[in-house]
Structure 1
Amino acid sequence: MNIKRISLGSAAALLSISGAHAADAVVVAEAEPMEYVRVCDVYGAGFYYIPGTETCLKVGGLVRYQIDVSDNDDGWIKSTKARVNLDARSETEYGTFRRFMELEFANDGGEFARNAADPAGYLRYSDATTSKIRYAFFELGGLMVGRNDTLFDGNLDGEFDKGGGTFINQIRYSFDAGNGIAVSVGLEEEDNNFDYVPLITGKVSVSQGWGSVNLYAAYDDRFEEFALKALANIKATDVLTIQAIATYESGATWFGLLAPYSGYDWSAGGYLKYAVNKQLSIGVGGQYFGDRHIGNFATGQTVDLNADDWAIGAVIDYKIVENLRTKLAVNYNDGDSYPTDGSFSGFLRLDASF
């Protein structure tokens, strides 16, 4: 009896083990779950999480076609530009960690010209495309390091005006004091391997519901001179914006209104911008420039050119469709730097962004 029970139990155990192995043999392994790109809405529209990370990335860019004209030219000047930018952001214990870069490629359509070594030879066609880094910087909390607009950057919205400064390598720190008030200081290098004293820049910004006021200051060790600037943006009504600018240079500085070390002792200007509707805006304004000067690198002195100049201009800005805008600008420049007549200039621009 016991022998029979033992035999039956052993047989059942063997059958169960055999069935388990048979079942295991036909099981199909499940596929690894796919990680789809997730939308990141922390920093606004257009950001996505980089797969496998908590970093958000936005890809953007611009295609520009522009036709320039001036009464000093012999024909239309046409150019095309392409810009591509990457904006990566993530959160850390020190605040937002941002990495940004923008590359630009430009082409002016080429031209026919003679070889300087063989002026009697055949005309040859050249069509060169230029490229450059416009921006390449990172930000962590209030610290910014890399290539960016100078902290001294700031202009009216017109196309006739001048505010001084351009792209430059720098280290900057900005402190948000709250209530729309921010204070920034920067160390900027205008000339590679020149000396160990950088340009020193500072900015105080106040932004409220009525508009904004920005105050700028900069010191240049090369000529031991400084520059000051104030820029106001006032919302007079829902459709009318009033802008004003005033600048002062104690002498030649890298922040010259015309070019580095080429500027004016002072200037003052204004601009009115009227929004006809959500698509169309019109702006007009002017700026006066007093006591033109340049820097003499041989003597290290500022040279006064005894010239006062002025400029006026008008802009029509129209949004054709979403991400496609056109701008028409007409400017007139005159003064002591134009010994005969003033100069008209302008452009028609198409910007397609993404």
Structure 2
Amino acid sequence: MTLTKSLLLGSAAALLAAAGAQAADLPSRKSAPVEYVRVCDAYGAGFYWIPGTDTCLKVGGRVRIDTWYTPSKNSVTLRSAGGPNYAGLAAPAGTSIAPFQSSNGIDQLGWYARGLLMMDARTQSAWGTVQTVVTLRLAVQTGLAQTSPFGATAAPAAGATGATIEAAYIRFAGFTIGDAASNFTFLPPYQYHSMFTPGYPNGIRQFAYTATFGGGFSATIALENRGDSSTTTTANSLGFNPTGLVGSTATAVGPQRLPAVVGNVRVDQGWGSAMLSGAVLQNTANFATPAINAVTNGLGPLMTKTGWAVGFGLKINLPMLAAGDSLHAWVGYSNGALDYVGFSNANENSAVTANYLGGYLRGDRSMTIFCTTAACIPNSETTKAFNLAGIFTHYWTPSLRSNFIASWIRITPGAVTQNTDWTNGGLSQATAWDIKHNLVWSPVRNFDIGLELSYARLSQRLTGLAGALPTTPACTVANPQCLASVNSNNWTGRLRVERTF
């Protein structure tokens, strides 16, 4: 029996040894190592190494839903681009824009839903960090969110969808090249409804260089494409000039010959931030008269005028009140550069959605062109503007905060423009201001539910019609101007739900 067991065990061992020898002779394939996505903590939270590269990537986004109510107003709107004085509802010959709009045809509600996809890729190099940023915005909007009610039509705006690039730039060795925030502006976009301050919600194409010094100091010089301003109108003309004999016309936006030169000096430290900024640009317009139009298709002599703007912004952190509390302030002045101080459109600031005051403002020109004699010798003058704004942020609790916001602007056209009847393109000095408060609850980090109430007021004395628009009796179709007030006001209630990830 013992002999039998020994034989069996010996046979099994021999078989195993033979099997092992044959397995060793078979070809083998080593599995490739699994490369997992790794956290990249060199640039802050949310970055990961792209497998197989030396680049870190952060992918995020935002969903924002807004709805708001603004009472509609009867309004005096845009004037003729070259027609005679008018008082009726019909549009002047050669234009589809009527001087008066009834509140019955103007939306009171606005809705939009926006989705943002944001990508930030960074690679370390011998020249420092190379950063590439892309932000794509998709939106669907209706009513007041889509168009101003003071344009060529007052019909309620139908729904529309669109795609916009908010940012697309490369930063390398101090240079920023592409579509990024303007180097002139300072205030954060805490408001839901409009402020009388500059805004570039879609960024501005630029070629900029930033030098960083010690102690939080930096300086930037940039060439910016002013055509990216959502409110820009370089020049406009007086339809009939003080001579009363001939009118001039101008292309709505003159040809771009030179970029805007923008610079700032900034400091960021524990107490807050401060920035002094400036901009210099060229206003252009093609001057024309009916006689010129007949032979040149409306392109006459090219008019140019230099515009400039300066601004100062200040932020003070107030942790002694509550963690996260701060005060922002801004002051700006421009001469021929409305885009960099306020806005440039009728009754509204379309950069951040309109106040829809219903009066008459028309700050739509940095330069006005006109005839100085009956023979129509061309001349021009610039529009000046001065504004102030402030934002106080207070955290009642870590998840509940308030923003108290105010802004004020005064627009002063040139002397000839002020002495021309408003129906012929004349403008008078105008003052507008607004105040607003939004209360924001964040039940979860990066998830906000906010409600804002705002009030805006416009004061303006129009030239012509005995010096001002009548505001009492005799309101008829033949005399609709009495339905509009040049000391108009309006309010807005706005709800926002927003999630950033």
TM-score normalised by structure 1 residue count: 0.81
Q: 1:96 aligns with which of 122, 129, 134?
A: 129
TM-fit CA distance, 1:158: 4.8
- Say yes or no: does 1:287 pair with 2:388: no
Mapped contact 1:79–1:108 kept (Cα < 8 A)? yes
> 1:200 aligns to what?
261
**3-state DSSP of counterpart to 2:227:** coil
Cα distance in 2 between the residues matched to 1:346 and 1:51: 48
Cα distance in 1 between the residues matched to 2:175 and 2:25: 60
> 2:160 aligns to what?
128
Instruction: Report which stretch shifted further, 344-353 or 185-194.
Output: 185-194
Cα distance in 2 between the residues matched to 1:20 and 1:275: 74
- Say yes or no: does 1:324 pair with 2:447: yes
The amino acid across from 1:342 in the alignment is N
RMSD in angstroms over aligned alpha carbons? 3.0
Write the mapping of 1:250-329 to structure 2, written as runs, cut at 5 A: 250-259=335-344, 261=365, 265-293=385-413, 305-329=428-452
Deviations 1:40-93 (A, max 9, x none): 111111111111101001111011111121112644322100100111001000
Q: 1:246 aligns with which of 331, 334, 350?
A: 331
**3-state DSSP of counterpart to 1:22:** helix
Q: 1:170 aligns with which of 187, 206, 228?
A: 206
> 2:316 aligns to what?
234
Cα distance in 2 between the residues matched to 1:303 and 1:246: 27
TM-fit CA distance, 1:254: 3.6
> 2:301 aligns to what?
none
Cα distance in 1 between the residues matched to 2:47 and 2:222: 29
Query: Which 5+ residue runs of structure 2 have no aligned equivalent?
Result: 1-17, 73-105, 145-154, 229-253, 284-304, 345-363, 367-382, 418-424, 461-484
> 1:183 aligns to what?
219
TM-fit CA distance, 1:251: 2.4
The amino acid across from 1:286 in the alignment is A
Cα distance in 1 between the residues matched to 2:317 and 2:159: 45
- Of all paired residues, the percent bearing the same amino acid is 26
Deviations 1:73-115 (A, max 9, x none): 644322100100111001000000000000001101589xxxx
The amino acid across from 1:198 in the alignment is P
TM-fit CA distance, 1:229: 0.8
TM-fit CA distance, 1:283: 2.3
**3-state DSSP of counterpart to 1:179:** helix
Instruction: Report which stretch shifted further, 279-288 or 224-233.
Output: 279-288
Mapped contact 2:263–2:279 kept (Cα < 8 A)? yes
Higher relative contact order (CA 8 A, sep 6+): 2
Mapped contact 1:200–1:218 kept (Cα < 8 A)? yes
TM-fit CA distance, 1:255: 1.9
The amino acid across from 2:488 in the alignment is D
The amino acid across from 2:282 in the alignment is D
- Say yes or no: does 1:343 pair with 2:490: yes
Cα distance in 2 between the residues matched to 1:237 and 1:86: 32
The amino acid across from 2:397 in the alignment is N
TM-fit CA distance, 1:162: 3.4
Cα distance in 2 between the residues matched to 1:269 and 1:29: 70
Cα 1:98–1:28, aligned 2, differ >3 Å: closer, same or farther?
same
Mapped contact 2:434–2:454 kept (Cα < 8 A)? yes
TM-fit CA distance, 1:353: 1.2
**3-state DSSP of counterpart to 2:397:** coil
Mapped contact 2:220–2:265 kept (Cα < 8 A)? yes
> 2:356 aligns to what?
none
Q: Choose between structure 1 and 2: higher strand proportion.
A: 1
Cα distance in 2 between the residues matched to 1:109 and 1:126: 6
Query: Which 5+ residue runs of structure 1 have no aligned equivalent?
Result: 1-17, 112-122, 297-301
Cα 1:314–1:28, aligned 2, differ >3 Å: closer, same or farther?
same
Cα distance in 2 between the residues matched to 1:147 and 1:331: 31
- Equivalent pairs counted in the alignment come to 320
